[in-house]
Each structure stands twice: as C-alpha cells, then as structure tokens.
Structure 1
Amino acid sequence: MTFNLDTLKITPEIVLLIAEIDEFKGAWRALGTLAPDRLSALRRVATIESIGSSTRIEGSKLSDKDVERLLSNLEIKKFETRDEQEVAGYAEVMETIFAHADTINITENYIKQLHRDLLKYSAKDERHRGEYKINPNHVVAFDTDGKEIGIVFETATPFDTPRLMTELVEWTRTALEEGRLHPLLIIGIFTVTFLEIHPFQDGNGRLSRVLTTLLLLKSGYNYVPYSSLESVVEQSKEGYYIALRKTQGTIRSDAPDWQPWVIYFLRALQQQKNRLQVKIERERIVIETLPELSIQILELAKEHGKLTNSQIVKLTGANRNTVKKHLQALVLANHLSQHGSGKGTWYGRLNG
C-alpha cells in the first residue's frame, strides 16, 4: 500500500489541535499527582465507560451500570449472552493494554493475538478469532436500539487483506520510528486504514479502538486510561460514521481525502482530554475542600452507584451519626443526591 500523504493538508486547525493535546500530554505529570486511589477510581470509571461505549457502538445494549455489574463478577468466566461475552473480552484486552503497552509491539502477530483475546468468550466467533477474514464483510451502522440501519461502506477483499495488513503495519512502524510525521497523524491514518481493510470477520471496530489506545500509550499519551475515548466516539457516532465514509471511500484512489477523518479524530482526542481536565479539576476542588471521610463516601458512591447510611458505616467503620452529618453536607453541596426516605434512603453521585 502506498500512502499518499501529499493530500493531507496540515491546516491551522490541525496544528492547534495537536498543540493543545500535546500541551496536556506534557502537563500530565503535574496533573497526575493525585493520590493513587483517586487515579485508580478515575481509571475504573473511564474503563467502564470505554467498554460500554465501544460495545454499544457495535450494537450491544448493555448500559454502563450493566457493564460495572458484569466486571465485578468476571471470575465466573461464563457469560450467557453475546453482549456479556463481548464486554468480558474487551475488559480483559483493555487491562492487557494498560499493563503491557510498552512491551506490545505493533506487529501482525500481536494484532491477531489481541483479536483472539478480544473474542475469547464469544462462542459464535470461535472459528475465526485471531485469523484474518475468509469471507467478504462490510461496515454497518446501528441505531440506539442496536438495530442495523445500513451499510456504511464496502471493505477490502479477503484475498487482499493479508497484503494490505502487512503494508499497513510496516508503514506505521516505520513512520513512528522515523518521526517525520506527528504520531497523532500516524495513529489517525493507521486507524482509518485498519477500518477500511476490516481485516477480521468480526470485532474490527472494537479492536481498532483497542489499537488506537495502544498506539497512544506507546507514543507517550499516558493519560488515556483515565478518560474514555470510546465514550466520545459513541456520543458523536453520526460524525464518526460520516468521517469514516468520506475518507475510506477515497483511500484506494490517487488522491485520498484524509481530512475528514483526521479532523474528526483530533477533535475526539481534544474532547477526551477536555473531559479529563474537568474531572481532575473537580477532584482537586473536592480534595481541597472536603474532609477525608466525605471524600471516602464520594469514592464509595462512585464505585457502588447507590449507598445507604448502613453500608457506609460498614465500609468505613465510622460512627453512624458522623456519617449522617457528612451525607447531609454532601447533599447540600450537590456532591450527592438523596433518594427515598426513612430506612429506604439511599445516596448517589451527582457528578460521576
């Protein structure tokens, strides 16, 4: 595959977006000085959002709450529905990426291994997981109910797929090593071309988002586990498909139009970064203004979704009346919402 990048115009918007994202990348060392348990809580929320969003983009109907409940029981290793199977596989692959990004190289073998792990629990995909497609496939869009609403575009043939993947992987590795093109542009071009090839029978969309995260981490964007890019894509799904279609329909031409996808991709990264900035600022404000027990209660509310006074007493070991006073203060300050009355009263986070 010859990548004609002469048609990629580095516009002022592209320059500004890259500069803004890189500025945050550089500042992350200072921004990331929250206590380990705070960072861990941020990452858990982002991971749940990422898994939920990425599987819903492909037609799953599980909510983030469903995903959270499922992740708390992953040791069961047996999942009844296809949606649950996809969530379990995605969760394991994301943890692999977060833990071992430095040692996972961008090779065809690693990509196939990640695909195999992604579909590990999907009984329907047992025959083809970890192997390139042998039948034609195409990209389809789903509505909010998980119903297929139409073909987005045709993809590479099974015959051409091995050659095209070899060329894509070699180009990506070489481009990153040479450093002539900014890594964010290389990652964007890799992602859109991978999706245009659609090398596997199923799971390509989910795997593309896993590989995007892997490449970002390998390029030093160490904040990505703490803010969900997949959630941004889900909430701008129409723009995602339009940008894909506009660029992918031209990739095999003499003058590929990289612009629609590159701009969408960089704007999505900007939104991911912005969301994390807001969360970090909120965390700082909370830390600076609230007593330790109140912070503990907020973390428990974030983790459990719903909490009663009795649960908090049990989990923290604090006095019941003390917990009650802290809960009243958190409700008044709009950190928690109160539901029900009497013994049925429970509390939830207003700002997740």
Structure 2
Amino acid sequence: MIRKGGAAMTEYTLAQVDLLQFNCRKALKNLLPEDQQTLRSQWSPDSKEQKFEHVWSSNAIEGAKVGLRDTTKILDKGLTGNGNRISDLLATLDLGRAYDDMLFFVKNQTPISEQMIKELHYDLTKLSEPDISGQYRTTAVHPAQSTHNPYSQPFEIRPQMEDLVKWIPDAQARLHPVAFAAQLHLKFVTIHPFQDGNGRLARLLMNMALLENGYPLVNILPDSDHRGAYLDALEACQTSNGIDGAPLENLVASYVGQIYKNRLAAIKLKGREREWKLDRHDEFSFNIGYKWQSLGDAIYDETSPVSVRYHHALNKVFKDHFDDGYSFYMADEISNGVANDTACYWARYFAARVLFADGASDAEIMKRLDQFRFDDLDWNEEKFQETSKQALYRARVDLFIQLSDKFPELNDSLIQMVSNEVYNGSTEFRNYVKKYCAEHGKEPGYLNFSELT
C-alpha cells in the first residue's frame, strides 16, 4: 500500500494495470451500445468534467486556492467565482488553454519536441506570467523545503532538453507506456527548464503520453495525503545519487489501476441498472395484466362478447395472415413458451401492454375495444404472406406507426412497447429499424426511433 498521513492507495504492477485495462474493455463491450457511449463520454478527456478536474487539481497542487466549483464556473461560463485571487483566475484560464493544446497534439499524434513544449508553456503562462512565457529560465531555482537541489543549472537546460527529446523515441519503444509517462514527467521536472509552470507542464506531458497509448487521464488529487504522496515520490526519485524513477512509476501505475477498478465498478453498476429497469418493466407488465383479471378472463373465453369483438380486430391482422410466419413472429416477439395458444395469448398481451397501460376505466377500455379495428388501416394480404424476416420486421414497425397515428391517446404506451421491442430484439431487427426509418424519412418524433436504437 502507498501511504501518506494515514491514507492508503492500492499498489498495482504494470502487468496488473494491463489486465485491468483488458477486463475493462471486455466488460464494456457487454453493455448495450447506448450505455457504452454514456460511459465513454464520461471518461473521455474531451469531456468538460475531465478537463475541469485536471485544471483544478493540477493548479491546486501548486498552491492555487480556486476550488473545483469555481474552476468550472471560470472555464465553462467565464465567471470569476467568489473571492478568488486574480493570479489564480488567470492560472485557471491558462491551464484550460494548455489542456486543449495537449488534446490537440494527442489527436494529431504530434511528436514531442522542444517547440511543442515551449508552445504548451506559452499558453500555460500567457495570462498569469507573460514575461516568462515559452522561455527557458536564465536563473537558478531551488525546490522548497529540501536540502538537495536536483534541478539543472541554466546553462545545462538547452542541451538537456535536446537530450530529453532524443531520448523519447527509444524510451517509447523500450518502456511500458505507464512507465514511460512517469519517466517523462520525472525527467522534465528534474530539468525544470522554466521559471514557473514546470509541475503543471510535467503533468500535461505525462497525460499526453498516457492518452497517446490508450490509457486514461491521471489527475493527482490535491488533498494533503495524495499531494504528499506525489511529492514524496518525486523527492524519492530525485536522490543525491542520481534519478530512480521507480517511486513515481509505482504511484502513476497505482492511479491508473485504480481508475480501471473504478471503471469496472461503473460498468457493473450500469449493467445492474439495465437489469433493474428490465425487471421493473416485467413486474409492471405482469401487474397490469392481472390488474384486469376479469376482462382478461373474458378475452380468454372465446364465447364472450368481449372476446368476439377483440378477436375480430386482432385476428384479422395476426392469426389469419401470418400462417407459418406467425409462429416465428410469436417466438421472436414474446417467447417460445407461449406460442402454443397464440391468439389468446396475443390478445391478453396486447391488452396488458397497450389498452390497459395507462390505467383507463373499464368503460373506456370497452370503448377502445369497439374502436380497435384494422379495417381501414393500410394492410394487405401480400405483406403478411411474405415469410422473410424483413417482412416480419417491417410489419412490426408499420404496426406501431399506424397504431400511433390511429390512436394518439395510446402514444405513450406504444412508445414503451417499441422501446422494449428494439431493446430486447435482435441486432438484425435494430438495424432494420434504422434502415426503415432512413428509407421512409421517419424523423425522431413520437416513436423516437433514433434514440431507441
């Protein structure tokens, strides 16, 4: 365990980090596409939340007093917050701009060079310290509260920065990406080429190396424990006998490992949320169906007046025209176990899912049953005689659209119905819905197919 002042962080080896990365990617693929996209958006370095946290934490490590909430206000809305020092406000804007530069270089796969580093430093200090922006220092600096000074002398900076840039390609090929990112951070901050901003720039370079290799953004938390562990690791690396990168490598690996552990937990939670929603829907459908037990029994009894009227409407479309295709439709639509008595089951299923779903009164339901006829809807024998899956898929989508047009008061129930058919249907059916809507110019509207798929 990495400890500082009682706080603890689990240590991860580089091999463990890679295993966690693999498990995270594998688990993510098991989620529905929309859930995958939600999590990827949250974790993306392009997200505002990731940017705001980086700017806040990196500045706070250097002593800035702007909190995360005010950092968000400054970068997102241009507000100044309450009681913040002008220097801290300017530093917030500067690091926000430098962060965007870093992402630009990552996306364009720009090799690290002295020119790039100077450009990053220029934007990092453009407002807060314009006199030193993008210029190597010309005076000596010394770390606070340390008897050992690892920082390069001014005359050593240029040749050592040239050596650093030359070292990068070989190190990238030789080292694990997490180890390379930590070593890059350490070497740069030990040279300390600028008068100010070296720590913030070192953390940008470290994250650039991580992101370029598919690893997550690492934000060193600025609380006393995490900040202390970070500074202790740097000091342990910068010994009087030379540079040993192991302490910082271990710390960065621990951060990356913990990020993947948190992501795995988020993936698991997202999967449970989806299961919970499906369970709740199944429970809802079950309760609705049996809430109207008396009417359901009447529908099941084919001799009752209700059943005669109801089957006249439903069987015209389904029982009489699907033939062999109807068995496949029922198996795919509901389950194999209920395909034996399709007419009666479909009547009860449709009644529970559509006619009863909004809690209408018995009188209203009877009125709907009388209105519920398909004589004037756009159906024909040829459409239902086709046995291909595409025809069945088209029939399903057409039915939902026509029912929604015919009975606007059932809209919400139909949307719920379509939602479940798309979510629970095969990938082939989801793809067909997209294709159908595109071909027929169906825009996201009352059925909202684009969101559902």
Q: How does 1:100-249 map to 2 (within 5 A)?
A: 100-103=105-108, 104-122=110-128, 125-140=129-144, 150-151=145-146, 153-154=148-149, 155-176=151-172, 179-221=173-215, 223-224=216-217, 228-231=218-221, 236-249=226-239
The residue that corresponds to 1:327 in the other structure is none
- Distance in 1 of aligned mates of 2:169 and 2:155: 23
Partner of 1:89: 94
Letter of the 1:19 counterpart: D
What SS does the aligned partner of 2:92 have? helix
- Report if aligned partners of 1:232, 1:272 keep a CA contact under 8 Å in 2: no
Q: Deviations over 1:254-274 (max 9, x none)?
A: xx4332222122112222333
Deviation, 1:235, is 5.1
CA–CA distance in structure 1, aligned partners of residues 224 and 277 of structure 2: 34
Would the aligned equivalents of 1:161 and 1:197 in 2 still touch at CA under 8 Å? yes
Counterpart residue identity of residue 196, structure 1 = T
Whether the 8 Å contact between 2:61 and 2:222 is mirrored in structure 1 is: no
Q: Deviations over 1:202-223 (max 9, x none)?
A: 11111111111111111222x4
The 3 A distance-change label for structure 1 pair 190 and 232 is same
Partner of residue 59, structure 1:
63
1:276 deviates by 3.3
Secondary structure of the corresponding residue to residue 143 of structure 2: strand
The 1:68–1:183 alpha-carbon spacing in structure 2 relative to 1, beyond 3 Å, is same
The structure-2 alpha-carbon separation of the partners of 1:276 and 1:35, relative to structure 1 and needing over 3 Å to count, comes to closer
Give 1:139 deviation, angstroms.
Answer: 3.1
Larger Rg: 2
CA distance 1:27–1:35, shift in 2 (3 Å): closer
Task: For residue 133 of structure 2, give the secondary structure of its aligned residue in structure 1.
Answer: coil
1:174 deviates by 2.5
Take 2:21 and 2:42, find their aligned partners in 1: how far apart are those partners?
A: 24
Residues 211 and 109 from structure 1, CA distance in 2 versus in 1: closer, same or farther, beyond 3 angstroms? same
Letter in 2 for 1:110: M
SS of structure 2 residue aligned to 1:121? coil
Task: Give the length in aligned residue pairs.
Answer: 258
Displacement of 1:13 in angstroms is: 6.1
Is the partner of 2:201 in helix, strand or coil?
A: helix
Measured against aligned partners, the alpha-carbon deviations of 1:173-192 in whole angstroms (never above 9, x if no partner) come to: 2222xx23222222211111
Q: Return the offset for 1:62.
A: 1.0
Structure 1 counterpart of 2:91, one-letter code: E
Partners of 1:152 and 1:22 lie apart in 2 by 40
**What's the TM-score, normalizing by structure 1?**
0.64
Q: 1:215 to 1:161 in 2, by over 3 A?
A: same
Alpha carbons of structure 1 residues 31 and 247: separation in structure 2 relative to 1, 3 Å: farther
Q: 1:14 to 1:40 in 2, by over 3 A?
A: closer
Change (3 A) 1:159 1:25: farther
- Structure 1 pair 290/90, CA: closer, same or farther in 2 (3 Å)? farther
5+ long unaligned stretches in structure 2: 1-10, 279-453
Contact 1:187 1:215 in 2 (8 A): yes
Tell me if structure 2 keeps the 8 A contact 1:49–1:231.
no
Paired-residue identity, % = 24
Tell me the equivalent position of 2:72: 68
1:236 Cα deviation from its structure 2 partner: 1.2
Residues 258, 212 of structure 1: CA spacing in aligned structure 2 closer, same or farther, 3 A cutoff? closer
Aligned amino acid, residue 83 of structure 1: D
Tell me if the contact between 1:20 and 1:270 (Cα under 8 Å) persists in the aligned partners.
no
Aligned-partner Cα distance in 2 for 1:87–1:229: 15
CA distance in 2, matches of 1:197, 1:273: 31
**CA separation in 1, counterparts of 2:223 and 2:180?**
19
Q: Is residue 260 from structure 1 mapped to residue 247 from structure 2 by the alignment? A: yes
- Distance in 2 (alpha carbons) for counterparts of 1:87 and 1:193: 25
Q: Which residue of 1 aligns with 2:441?
A: none
1:99/1:25 Cα in 2 relative to 1: closer, same or farther (>3 Å)?
farther
- Residue 338 of structure 2 corresponds to none
Contact 2:12 2:253 in 1 (8 A): no
